[in-house]
Structure 1
Amino acid sequence: PATADEGAAAGPCPVVRFDMADFTVADRVSVGLHGRSDEMIFEATVRDPSSELYGSTVVLRQLTSSQAKRRGRRALEVLKKLAHRQMMYHSYAMQVHGYVTPSKAMEEGDSPLVLVHGYHGSYSLRHWLQLSDWLPTLEATLALDEEQVRRVGDDSVGGPAVTRQLRLIRILMRDLLIGVNYLHSHGMAHTELRLENVHVSPVDKHVKVGILGNAVDFHDNDPSSSAVASNNERRKMMIAFDMRCVGFIMAKMVLRELMDSSTFQKFKSFLNKGNDPSCLREFLLPILSQNSPSGNIGLQVRICIYGITVSILFLEVV
Structure 2
Amino acid sequence: MVIAIGFEGSANKLGIGIIEDDKILSNCRRTYISPPGEGFMPKETALHHRQNILAVLKQALDESGIKPEEIDVVCYTKGPGMGAPLACVAVVARTVAQIWNKPLLGVNHCIGHIEMGRFITGADNPIVLYVSGGNTQIIAYSRKKYRIFGETIDIAVGNCLDRFARVLKLSNAPSPGFNIEQMAKKGTKYLPLPYCVKGMDVSFSGILTYMEERSKKLIKEGFTPEDLCYSLQETVFAMLVETTERALAHVGSKEVLIVGGVGCNLRLQEMMRIMCKERGAKIFATDERFCIDNGLMIARAGLEMFKSGSRMKWEDCGITQRFRTDDVDVIWRKD
- Greater RCO (CA < 8 Å, at least 6 residues apart): 2
- TM-score category (smaller protein): under 0.3
Q: Report the structure number with the largest CA radius of gyration.
A: 1
Length-normalised TM-score, structure 1: 0.27
Length-normalised TM-score, structure 2: 0.26
Q: Which has the higher helix share?
A: 2
